[in-house]
Amino acid sequence: MDLTERLQNVAVLGAAGKMGSGISLLLAQEMARTRLTPEGKGKVFRLALVDVSEAALDGLLSYLRDQLVKRAEKMVGALRELYADREDLVENGEMIDAFVASALTLLRPTTEIGAIAGARLVFEAVFENEPLKLDLLGKARAVADPDAWYLTNTSSIPIGGLDDKLELGGRIVGYHFYNPPAVQKLLELITTKNTLPEVKQAGDELAKRLGKKVFPANDIAGFIGNGHFMRDGLHAIAEADRLRAGGDWAPALYKMNRVSQEWLIRPMGIFQLIDYVGVDVMQMILKVMDTYLPGQGLHSELIDELVQRKVLGGQHHDGSQKDGILRYQKGRPVAVYDLVKGDYVPFEAFSAKADEELGPLPDGYRPWKALLADRGKDTALEQHFAALRGSKNQGAELAMAYLKASKAIGERLVSDGVALGADDVNGVLTNGFYHLYGPINTYTG
Amino acid sequence: MRKLRKEIYACAPAHTLYLGPGRKEFHPKKPRPGIEHYVFEAGRAAIAQVQNPEAIDQGVIGNFMAARFNHQAHLNALLPAVHEALLHKPCTRTEGACGSGGLAVSTAATAILADMADAVLVIGVEVQNTVKAMYGADILAGAGHYSRERKSGHVFFFPNLFSRRAGAYYEKWGKEESRRGMAEWYALAVENARRNPKAQEHHNADPDPRATGMTPPNPKAFLEHINVFDCSKVTDGASALILASQEGLKKLGVARDRAARLVGFGHCEGDLTRDPPDPCALTTSAAAARAALGSAGAKVDEIGLLEVHDCFSISGLLSLEAVGLAQPGKAAAYLLDGKTRADGECPTNQTGGLCGFGHPTGATGVRQVADLTLQLTGQAGDCQVKLRDRKPYGLSINMGGNDKTVVSFVMRAS
């Protein structure tokens, strides 16, 4: 059974979630496209979308309809070729409409897992919670095709454990999309020593068909992406704790957020990124990693405390940022949560003093956005970090320590065998986190 | 085309802002003025230049595809809302694809020549930023032969037709100099538009538009033989003017020195059901320019000002050859020698042309005649050029479709 045959009957578990909806969109588009090719023509395709509530599925269908239109608009050149034999479809608009209508006919939204009967590819995209994943995948196995392959959007839980507990015999891979899946090019493909070669091969082929760039990772909790991100975040929290020296958290968190965004020229500050991912999600991932990698300090009291106080971050339905460690106005951070006060403290209450302590950015500093499309960015980065190495102000010192910590994390991912090499670590950080440079670099001097 | 049997004057030229990507005011997700706004603004700005609007006998409005872009047909019935002087008077809408504006001017001129009117308000309008590019391409493809060409056509139907012309031109005359000529066309369009505050490219601050124009075409991203800078953009805009007989000018209360003479015009149709006979030549445009010059009794070397239909840089080059200013294959050299610049042999598209000013399809033909009127009456502001005595004529070419409906006008100062 080749990949196209398997694509005729697909299920997504947790389809209405943040990750599941994006994965469902990619699959609906690819299945509808395949149906127009010679190998797919005349065959029945179905995509079961499983989630817990009818309301969530309603929202999912609206999202899919809107997004399928946008994606069909972008592939209209290919549609003109795929619909070459349809005399009734002449204009771009007619082909876009036909494609979207066709893709919508594939969809089988359901709250009943029994509805995935006979599925040959099962995608799972529920919370990073091992018992939940085991429960759902176990139920899926009972009704899916006996030879079904499982692709789990797992960001930290070892795949080998799931394989063993579900007795899947190597028919499962980690298929870790980045948020939002429909946009982010990066896909971590995690295999174990038991993974069937044909499953890995299909994972690679499907990723290509979905327009993703695959970075392979070995089956060690956290893999490459979270393996770096979690430790990077913990470094920032530890540094903030050191800076506050028993005092208020707010100025220290503010400083580390600024240093990570501006001095390190990243797309956003570390605490903004944690809010984007979700403070509770970070806690969940840390918990998994700490379980499988004990003794490595993969734990944060600050994160636990924030979650307990419902300081969670994450996004609203419209994609806007919810308040987390930072408070946001029009998408920009304006205040930081203070654990002592139990409330947000506006930046202006302390930023003048904190900024003075950090000191100025190096002359000629250009932010991430300005360098993103600059072909000469490598030279600009060299100059920026050389200036940091020669500077003694607090901002520069924090940044250099951060850069070294990030590099050590990256190198350890290679030495521990999580990544095959430095290029894969750097590739995940540049493609999945939009960093301008990988953590394993020469900028530390 | 016959010599005109009576004198025709063009006066009261007016343009709205030509809005679209590139203008700082333009934001694709924010609400924008509708088609009525443009019709009213341009029409009323023209009428405001005459003392007696009641003297206007008729109205003509040129438009290509408002029925699809704006869900609004029957545009001629908008004209009485421009000014009550047009209520219960004959109003006509013309359509000849991107030549619709030229048809509007020639329809007005014909009404005056036929003694059916002494003063005619002419407006050209198109508001096309209402849909995304791939749907706009469908609408504009209506200028081609739908049943024969559209199914096998490209996503971007018209750009591809002119990409094919460019490819044939490179093959025949050499790619390198042709590309340099096309880049020069783009650069001049931008530089001219910078002097024109209403132009779509007025805010273009590219420090090296010639280098930008030389961006290699990429068929994976767009088309095989042209890049996006070789194309006019999608524009919302309207232009207007009033055509009048000598008697009409008096009745309107417009001084002679505020009017230019329309001394000849040519209107030629190509066969929509056939491919162009020569991809490297605009044969219908050439015929229309010849007819216009013949009608005016003027010669090519007496043209001192040119407005050509550069919907694509290649059509700009081909237009220079169609008029006869450059020999076949020599348009790039003509451009690179500086002959189309303000101080050159034949200043061309001095307000930016379609690539610089913008191309609201149904408005362009009116815009060209309005710009010639502004130049010939010394009202062109920073775009003003000084005509030499031995080259007193301005000539415009407005082309619909792939060189199918072409209307050309010859004008001079009064």
Per-residue pLDDT reduced to its tens digit, A283-325: 999 999 999 999 999 999 999 999 999 999 998 877 789 999 9
Q: How crowded is residue A323: how many other Cβ atoms within 10 Å of its Cβ?
A: 18
| Test mutation, A92, A97, A99, chain B, max B CBs within 10 A | A92
Residue A4 has pLDDT above 70, yes or no: yes
- A92 and B137 in contact by Cβ < 8 A? yes
Residues 6+ apart with CB under 8 A from A384: A265, A362, A364, A365, A366
A93 Cβ under 8 Å from any chain B Cβ: yes
Identify any residues that bridge with B312 across adjacent strands, giving them in sequence order: B231
Identify any residues that bridge with A50 across adjacent strands, giving them in sequence order: A13, A110
Instruction: Identify whether residues A185 and A237 lie together within a single domain.
Output: no
A91 Cβ under 8 Å from any chain B Cβ: yes
Instruction: Identify whether residues A350 and A396 lie together within a single domain.
Output: yes
A125 Cβ under 8 Å from any chain B Cβ: no
Q: Do you know the residue count of chain A?
A: 445
| Test mutation, B151, B158, B222, chain A, max A CBs within 10 A | B151
Q: How far is CA B379 from CA A119, A403, B33, in A?
A: 74, 63, 27
Domain total in chain A? 2
Confidence of residue B1 (pLDDT cuts 50, 70, 90): low
Q: Which of A62, A58, A45 minimizes the C-alpha distance to A107?
A: A45
**Does some domain include residue A309?**
yes
Region B123-129: mean pLDDT is: 98
Instruction: For residue A285, give how far its alpha carbon lies from the nearest alpha carbon of chain B (Å).
Output: 38
**Does some domain include residue B101?**
yes
**Does some domain include residue B229?**
no
A100 Cβ under 8 Å from any chain B Cβ: no
Q: ipTM > 0.90? A: yes
Q: Last residue of a domain, which of A218, A235, A260?
A: A218
CB of B99 closer than 8 Å to CB of B354: no
Confidence of residue A423 (pLDDT cuts 50, 70, 90): very high
Which pLDDT belongs to residue B52? 98
**Does some domain include residue A445?**
no
Decide which of A445 and A95 is more confident.
A95
Instruction: Identify whether residues A213 and A257 lie together within a single domain.
Output: no
Q: Which of A362, A390, A356, A357 minimizes the C-alpha distance to A262?
A: A362
CB of A256 closer than 8 Å to CB of A243: yes
Q: Which domain holds residue A294?
A: 225-432
Region A5-24: mean pLDDT is: 96
Identify any residues that bridge with B399 across adjacent strands, giving them in sequence order: B406
Instruction: Identify whether residues A309 and A391 lie together within a single domain.
Output: yes
Instruction: For residue B235, give how far its alpha carbon lies from the nearest alpha carbon of chain A (Å).
Output: 20
Q: How crowded is residue B116: how many other Cβ atoms within 10 Å of its Cβ?
A: 12
Tell me the residues of B at the A interface, defined by beta carbons under 8 Å apart: 132, 134-135, 137-138, 141, 146, 150-151, 154-155
Q: Last residue of a domain, which of A218, A237, A263?
A: A218
**Does some domain include residue A88?**
yes
Q: What is the distance between the alpha carbons of residues A427 and A439, in angstroms, rounded to a whole number?
A: 10
Instruction: Identify whether residues A354 and A258 lie together within a single domain.
Output: yes
Task: Please give the angle made by the CA atoms of B101, B103 and B106, to the nearest 5 degrees.
Answer: 115
Confidence of residue A445 (pLDDT cuts 50, 70, 90): confident
With beta carbons under 8 A apart, name residues in chain B contacting A99. none
**Residue A73: closest C-alpha in chain B:** B134
Instruction: Identify whether residues A184 and A269 lie together within a single domain.
Output: no
Share of chain A above pLDDT 90, in %: 93
Confidence of residue B93 (pLDDT cuts 50, 70, 90): very high
Instruction: Identify whether residues A191 and A237 lie together within a single domain.
Output: no
Tens of pLDDT, residue by residue over A35-47, are 999 999 999 999 9
Q: Can you spell out the DSSP letters for A153-221? A: --SSS-HHHHHHHHT-TT-EEEEEE-SSTTT--EEEEEE-TT--HHHHHHHHHHHHHTT-EEEEEESST
**Does some domain include residue A438?**
no
Q: What is the CA radius of gyration of chain B?
A: 19
Q: Can you spell out the DSSP letters for A306-347? A: HHHTT----B-TTSPBPPSSEEEETTEEEEEEETTTTEEEEG
- A77 and B150 in contact by Cβ < 8 A? no
Residue A339 has pLDDT above 80, yes or no: yes
Share of chain A above pLDDT 70, in %: 100
Find the CATH number of the domain harbouring A410: 1.10.1040.10
Instruction: Identify whether residues A381 and A399 lie together within a single domain.
Output: yes
Tens of pLDDT, residue by residue over B136-170, are 999 999 999 999 999 999 999 999 999 999 999 99
Q: What is the pTM of this model?
A: 0.90
Instruction: For residue B354, give how far its alpha carbon lies from the nearest alpha carbon of chain A (Å).
Output: 25
Find the CATH number of the domain harbouring B296: 3.40.47.10
Q: What is the distance between the alpha carbons of residues A326 and A279, in angstroms, rounded to a whole number?
A: 11
Instruction: Identify whether residues A198 and A335 lie together within a single domain.
Output: no
Token digits for B18?
Answer: 């030509």
Q: Please give the single-letter amino acid code of residue B167.
A: G
A76 Cβ under 8 Å from any chain B Cβ: yes
Give the mean pLDDT of chain A: 96
- A80 and B154 in contact by Cβ < 8 A? yes
A77 Cβ under 8 Å from any chain B Cβ: yes
Q: What is the distance between the alpha carbons of residues B340 and B334, in angstroms, rounded to a whole number?
A: 8
Exposed / middle / buried, residue A343 (Cβ in 10 Å: 0-12, 13-18, 19+) = exposed
Identify any residues that bridge with A127 across adjacent strands, giving them in sequence order: none
**Does some domain include residue B147?**
no
Token digits for B69?
Answer: 């872009």
Identify any residues that bridge with A336 across adjacent strands, giving them in sequence order: A326, A345
Task: Please give the angle made by the CA atoms of A289, A294 and A298, to the nearest 5 degrees.
Answer: 50
With beta carbons under 8 A apart, name residues in chain A contacting B137. 92
Alpha helices in B142-196 (DSSP H): 157-173, 175-194
With beta carbons under 8 A apart, name residues in chain B contacting A98. none
Region A72-82: mean pLDDT is: 97
Exposure pattern of B13-31 as b/e (b: 16+ CB <10 Å)?
A: bbbbbbbbebbeebeeeee
Q: What is the distance between the alpha carbons of residues B400 and B315, in angstroms, rounded to a whole number?
A: 12
Q: Last residue of a domain, which of A218, A252, A272?
A: A218
Residue A414 has pLDDT above 90, yes or no: yes
**Does some domain include residue B148?**
no
**Does some domain include residue B222?**
no
Domain total in chain B? 1
Q: What is the distance between the alpha carbons of residues B332 and B318, in angstroms, rounded to a whole number?
A: 10
With beta carbons under 8 A apart, name residues in chain A contacting B141. 91
Residue B134 has pLDDT above 90, yes or no: yes
Region A132-142: mean pLDDT is: 97
Token digits for A398?
Answer: 């924090």
With beta carbons under 8 A apart, name residues in chain B contacting A91. 138, 141, 150
Instruction: Identify whether residues A411 and A271 lie together within a single domain.
Output: yes
Exposed / middle / buried, residue B305 (Cβ in 10 Å: 0-12, 13-18, 19+) = buried
Instruction: Identify whether residues A85 and A177 lie together within a single domain.
Output: yes
- B155 and A76 in contact by Cβ < 8 A? yes
Instruction: Identify whether residues A140 and A205 lie together within a single domain.
Output: yes
Find the CATH number of the domain harbouring A104: 3.40.50.720
Instruction: For residue A76, give how far its alpha carbon lies from the nearest alpha carbon of chain B (Å).
Output: 7
Instruction: For residue A87, give how far its alpha carbon lies from the nearest alpha carbon of chain B (Å).
Output: 8
- A92 and B134 in contact by Cβ < 8 A? yes
Q: Which domain holds residue B62?
A: 8-131+234-413
With beta carbons under 8 A apart, name residues in chain A contacting B150. 90-91
